[in-house]
Amino acid sequence: MKTRVLPGFHLSLGYTLAYLTALAFVPMFALFHKASSLSGEKFIAAVWTERAQAAYLLTFGASAIAAAINIVLGLLVAWVLVRYSFPGKRLVDAIIDLPFALPTAVAGLVYSSLYVENGWLGQYLVPLGIEGAYSRLGIVLVLVFVGLPFVVRTVQPVLESLDADIEEAAHLLGATRGQTFRRVIFPALRPALITGFALAFARSLGEYGSVVFISGNMPFRTEIAPVLIVARLEEFAYSEATAVAVVLLTMSFAMLVLINLLERWSKRHAD
Amino acid sequence: MPTDHLPAGATAVSAVLCSASPLQGSQSHFAPKSEGIIAARAPRVVTVKRLARAADSPVSVAAVAGSPRVAAARRDSPVVRWTLVSLALAVVGLVIVLPVVNVFYEALAKGVGTYWDNLFADRDTRHAIFLTLTVAPVAVAANLVFGLAAAWTITRFRFPGRTLLTSLIDLPFSVSPVVAGLMLVLIFGLQGYFGPWLREHDIKIIFAWPGLVLATAFVTMPFVARELIPVMEAIGVEEEVSAVSLGANGWQVFWRVTLPNIKWALLYGVILCNARAMGEFGAVYVVSGHIAGKTDTMPLRVEKLFQEYNTPGSFAVASVLTLLALVTLFAKAGLEHRTRKEQAEAARWEAEGEKRE
């Protein structure tokens, strides 16, 4: 091994690896080891019940819908923050990160209080038949809250660094603002939008704290996969809980790989 | 890696992240090469933004604003502008501001006296506040040391598996907190792998304080490291190498050269890590066992009071957590502002130096 100028390589690498191993690798290994102790049939029986299927579908569906909504809302907010000036802009810019900092339990609590029948928003929405609390809609609402800053913060720097030249060129060539946005700006933003979608989606898949307050957690209707894991745990059915956890973890990893491929593809096409 | 989602030729951000490191040309290992599967996550995106803004302010924005033709090409009609601004404000108001206002409204609905009693007259709530204030700092301290070690390893040395290690640090972000808690139960729980041994020696981890710390540390593990890595990469190794060549030992280099350079990034990472640590719910929920007055942290207390139909009490605890979140946000905004100013100043100095030459 060649000599290194700076000291501390072995100490810092050793510490990093030891910490990662103790806190992350060993627990993950334990999870997969425990799951593998189930026979194939038992594993299938644990992860493929009708209740579990409904939970996966809801987790996936609600996360995807929320992330898609966030694409639109996030692009709007990022655009306004980068391109226009208005009073209170710096405050808005700072407060966008609130969902990162606010405990998810608080988010769930306050969202359910806003959308119940006598809540600030519920009193107008419930008579219209829009049930924002203890419903699937409620799950989407909190996931939109949790995911919004991911899209804004991914799109914002790209929008800031966009060359003015290309817009000028489009303008000089006679494009309207709408055409410029559609044909010039949007393609440049697409990779960032996909990344933002991915981040919001991945975060939503595992979200627990906020959803548990607002969803009502009814099996088959409003129960998401993490809630199902906790329910199994509370029945002391550790193997079943582990099996569902492995499925959820595998879904998150698969999503990340897929999204990465998508991102590369999108980048290649943008060039 | 941070710049992955940027289109080729994106100016400011990639310029900063790639060329801010003076070593880039000669020692290419500082350039992020391939992306790990868990590459870009939000906090790092924030860093990118911070750097981008810092770089933007002195040069490129001025250049853009200076050209009237470009300004015309980018100008939207007032109708479009105001419609979009109002829509964005409505979104932010509805999604973020209204909930915050509602927390404080509900907490204070029965008056300040009741609010105070809800927080401090209840023994279990008092204990929950105490527990959160002890668990979070321990977890943050552990991840602070880890973050420093990881950033030093990754940005100061080149070794096989370096890219992989960088992605592995982010691993906890892709694990659902509930699953993280479950992993710990499988290891340390009564029926877990170490369960019998722990019981023999009368050590409690699950349903006790150590479990809470472990769960919190797992979930918040990447925060400090991911703030430090891009900053230390951008600073480069020159100053540290000079210090070593002048005879400084490892600790002297760290305390006198590295730490002063990274102190703001470090503080930033600690603030983010702490916010998440204090608010963690899912992972802690699984390992705590919910013994009131013993293993309930503040977020868990919020849930328990809510289940007991003590809504004002629940909102009182929630309001303290919200206050913490707001303090975190403003500290963060302040730090970003500071970093921007410092970078702008550095850029000015550099420009003046070039002029003199």
Reported confidence tier of residue B66, pLDDT bands at 50, 70, 90: very low
Average predicted confidence (pLDDT) for chain B = 81
Output the domain CATH number for residue B131: 1.10.3720.10
| Cβ–Cβ contact A8 with B under 8 A | yes
User: To which residue do tokens 């979104």 refer?
Assistant: B91
Own/partner pairs, B251-255, CB within 8 angstroms, 24+ separation: B253/A6, B253/A7, B254/A8
Say what the pLDDT of residue B304 is: 93
**Residue pair B311/B114 in contact by the 8 Å Cβ criterion:** no
Say what the pLDDT of residue B68 is: 55
Nearest by CB to A167, which of B73, B275, B321? B73
Cα–Cα distance for residue pair A56/A244, rounded to 1 Å: 9
| Cβ–Cβ contact A27 with B under 8 A | yes
Q: Could you tell me if residue B93 is inside a domain? A: no
Reported confidence tier of residue B350, pLDDT bands at 50, 70, 90: confident
Residue B143 has pLDDT above 90, yes or no: yes
Cα–Cα distance for residue pair B180/A24, rounded to 1 Å: 9
Query: A63-223 sits in which CATH class?
Result: mainly alpha
Residue B84 has pLDDT above 80, yes or no: yes
User: To which residue do tokens 């008056």 refer?
Assistant: B111
Q: Do B176 and A226 touch (CB under 8 A)?
A: yes
Q: Could you tell me if residue B245 is inside a domain? A: yes
Cα–Cα distance for residue pair B150/B143, rounded to 1 Å: 10
Which residues of chain B are within 8 Å of residue A27 when distances are taken between CB atoms? 180, 183-184, 186-187, 218
Two tokens at B291? Answer: 């013994």
Q: How many residues are present in chain B?
A: 357
Say what the pLDDT of residue B255 is: 94
Give mean pLDDT, residues B83-112: 95
Cα–Cα distance for residue pair A83/A55, rounded to 1 Å: 41
Nearest by CB to B96, which of A95, A109, A225? A95
**Residue pair B240/B289 in contact by the 8 Å Cβ criterion:** no
Residues 6 or more apart in contact with residue B196 via CB below 8 angstroms: none
Residue B113 has pLDDT above 70, yes or no: yes
Give mean pLDDT, residues B13-42: 33
User: To which residue do tokens 């293993």 refer?
Assistant: B295
User: What is the full per-residue pLDDT of chain A (271 aa) written as tens digits?
Assistant: 445 788 889 999 999 999 999 999 999 999 999 998 888 898 998 899 999 999 999 999 999 999 999 999 999 999 999 999 999 999 999 999 999 999 999 999 999 999 999 999 999 999 999 988 899 999 999 999 999 999 999 999 999 988 888 888 888 898 888 899 999 899 889 888 988 998 899 899 989 999 999 988 889 999 999 999 999 998 988 989 999 999 999 988 887 787 778 777 877 776 5
Q: Where are the domains of chain A?
A: 63-223
Cα–Cα distance for residue pair B189/B293, rounded to 1 Å: 21
A164-194 exposure pattern, b = at least 16 Cβ within 10 A, e = fewer: beebbebbeeebebeebbeebbeebbbbbbb
Say what the pLDDT of residue A256 is: 74
User: To which residue do tokens 């929320």 refer?
Assistant: A66
Say what the pLDDT of residue B69 is: 54
Q: Do B149 and A4 touch (CB under 8 A)?
A: no
One-letter amino acid identity for B275? A
**Residue pair B143/A172 in contact by the 8 Å Cβ criterion:** no
Cα–Cα distance for residue pair B136/B279, rounded to 1 Å: 9
Tens of pLDDT, residue by residue over B228-263, are: 999 999 999 999 999 999 999 989 999 999 999 999
Reported confidence tier of residue B290, pLDDT bands at 50, 70, 90: confident
Q: Do A7 and B249 touch (CB under 8 A)?
A: yes
Cα–Cα distance for residue pair A62/A67, rounded to 1 Å: 8
Cα–Cα distance for residue pair B234/B7, rounded to 1 Å: 21
Residue B51 has pLDDT above 90, yes or no: no
Q: Do A113 and B253 touch (CB under 8 A)?
A: no
Kindly tell me the number of DSSP H helices and DSSP E strands found in chain A.
15, 0
Q: Could you tell me if residue B252 is inside a domain? A: yes
- What dihedral angle (degrees, nearest 10) is formed by the CA atoms of B4, B10, B11, B12? -50
Q: Could you tell me if residue B345 is inside a domain? A: yes
Nearest by CB to A157, which of B42, B48, B171? B48
Q: Do B322 and A102 touch (CB under 8 A)?
A: yes
Say what the pLDDT of residue B30 is: 32
Say what the pLDDT of residue B60 is: 41
Cα–Cα distance for residue pair B148/B161, rounded to 1 Å: 18
Q: Exposed, middle or buried, B280 (CB in 10 Å: 0-12/13-18/19+)?
A: buried
pTM for the complete prediction?
A: 0.84
Q: Which among B313, B293, B137, B145 has a CA at the least distance from the CA of B216? A: B137
Q: Could you tell me if residue B1 is inside a domain? A: no
Say what the pLDDT of residue A3 is: 59
Question: DSSP string spanning A168-218?
Answer: HHHHHTT--HHHHIIIIIHHHHHHHHHHHHHHHHHHHHH--HHHHHHS---
User: What ipTM was estimated for this complex?
Assistant: 0.91
How much of chain B, in percent, has pLDDT values that exceed 70? 79
One-letter amino acid identity for A89? K
**Residue pair B169/B158 in contact by the 8 Å Cβ criterion:** no
Nearest by CB to A24, which of B4, B85, B171? B171
Q: Which among A198, A175, A159, A194 has a CA at the least distance from the CA of A80? A: A159
| Cβ–Cβ contact B119 with A under 8 A | no
Q: Could you tell me if residue B129 is inside a domain? A: yes
Residue with the larger pLDDT of the pair B108 and A191: B108
**Residue pair B330/A97 in contact by the 8 Å Cβ criterion:** no
**Residue pair A107/B299 in contact by the 8 Å Cβ criterion:** no
Residue B37 has pLDDT above 60, yes or no: no
Count of domains for chain B: 1
Q: Could you tell me if residue B95 is inside a domain? A: no
Q: Name the B residues in 61-80 with CB < 8 Å from any A CB.
A: 64, 67, 69-70, 72-74, 76-77, 80
Range with lowest mean pLDDT among A187-201, A229-243, B35-49, B331-345:
B35-49
Q: How far is CA A11 from the centre of its chain?
A: 36
Cα–Cα distance for residue pair B156/B159, rounded to 1 Å: 10
Say what the pLDDT of residue A162 is: 87
Two tokens at B353? Answer: 């130096």
Between helix B311-356 and helix A104-115 the angle, nearest 10°, is: 120
Give mean pLDDT, residues B96-113: 94
Q: Could you tell me if residue B297 is inside a domain? A: yes
Interchain CB contacts (distance < 8 Å): A and B: 362
Residue B72 has pLDDT above 70, yes or no: no
Structural domain of residue B283, as residue ranges? Answer: 12-75+109-356
* H or E element that contains B277: helix B259-279
Which residues of chain A are within 8 Å of residue B324 when distances are taken between CB atoms? 101
